[in-house]
Structure 1
Amino acid sequence: MSDDLVLCTTDGDGVATVTFNRPDRKNGWSPELEAAYFGTLDRVDRDADVRAVVLTGAGTAFCPGMDASRLNEKAGKGLDLSGRPPQYRPRTLRKPLIAAINGGCAGIGLVQALMCDVRFAARGAKFSTAFARRGLAAEYGLSWVLPRYVGLENALDLLLSARTFDAEEALRLGLVSRVVERDDVLAQAQAYAGDLARNCAPTALAAIRHQVYGDLEVGLDEALRRSLQVMAVTNGSADFVEGMRSFIERRPPHFAPLADDFDAGALTGAPVPGGRLAADDVLG
């Protein structure tokens, strides 16, 4: 496995740009790319200098799904996920994850785009769930994720037809929040992430991310209980003092970096969504 399958650079604001780097294969997914990507997420999660992450693809595509040669090789041979972490690994990241979808995004590439918190798409970029047209069911939990973004009927439409749709329709459906010109998509996503990195407290960002994904699983009463538990900590924190002082003094805030041992689950009183089980553990 080569680390060159995934590139990672960090700017002065603390924005790490992570790039799928198989442009010769349109960034087609493979177990090697997966391991390199998830390993990169592990590293940026521990790096105190990183405050937000942008994910994109090299060349003209984001990730059009599993590499076609891999699909052909594995066709009819069953499923082997031994040792592979689940595809929701990005949801356990403690830092904001912004997608800059620069081109084709389908199958497992769409799954990974939906694991990001906010999605910028290049005008004209093509999307598809793809699975049904390859004789496959909705993979990697997409049947759970997709209806939460676009509603039941739209999710069934996209999954059953596996049709291709463009960035403009993705925006109307709620799959992406911004559509920008192709040459600007990465810069705009980086600018958004930079604003978070400069102006938002890393601990608050980690807590909010955990709250939103964790609260998808519970009712209002439990979500409120968790919220009050978080408030009991953050309302007395140094970050709150700095946030108010910077606001009153009309200056940029100077928030401390995220502590290496910060545990959003302990703060919210809820487990990390999905935990950190390996895929073979999930399958039992």
Structure 2
Amino acid sequence: MHPYLLLGASLSLASQASAACTRAQLQDAVTAYINAQASGQVSTITALASSSINYTENDAVLDITKGVLAQPITIDFNRSMLDTTQCATFTELTAATSKHPYVIHTRMLFADDKIATMQSVVTDDGDWAFNATGHLAWTKQEKWDPIPEAKRDSRDVIKAAGDAYLDSWGDGSVKVPYGTPCARLEGGSYTGGGSRASANTCKMPQFPQPFKITNRRYVIDEEIGGLDIFNNFPFIEKTKPDGTPSSNFIRVEGGSIRYIHEATACATRNCGR
């Protein structure tokens, strides 16, 4: 079976088997994940995982004990989302001062109170616009505070904003609800801040050919207006025209996009661009 089909089947089964979960339970798992990555002690997270956990890095299925999780890294900053509706979490790790710098996006899905799936987009030197120092500097300046309950957007509104953004990459006619201001952190490159932080700073340029962003996988947290979409980004990687692993971490406030963080893995340095 094609690995994407196998992955999709796994996620479907995980979703069907998921039991109700609380923010406290999900936060405990996120804390264990961060501690595991900082120490390189995989057992910290496998203690909470299913014995048949599906573990992938950049869409490649790996033995969890042989991936980046087994490598201790210095984590300078982290930010997470907790999705109690589908029992899932998302965490962005910034490791700028580590011996090996990284920016890592990880989503975890739970079934029967165990981590059933872990997927990471792992970016480092040579990946699209990678600059962990720049990423750290900018992300620390952003405010992703909890949104007062009366002002929170629904899951549908948050998801629609993220989908419109991804749809606009291949179709410039799609209207995206960019906020004013809006800032995009692409690798380590920031397209906002100061007097430049207008809605236009988030607008993507028109690509030379139409395409669709496929294999979208979501984590949504209404409390912080957060959304992450794991996807396969076509066009950008010359050796993978059908798509390379990418993740877009988005903050939505009042129906409008405030922040976007993109992490995209390249098969060739700078995706051959």
TM above 0.5: no
TM-score, normalising length: structure 1: 0.27
Query: More strand per residue: 1 or 2?
Result: 2
Structure with greater contact order relative to length (CA < 8 Å, sep ≥ 6): 1
Instruction: Identify the structure with the greater helix proportion.
Output: 1
Q: TM-score w.r.t. structure 2 length?
A: 0.27
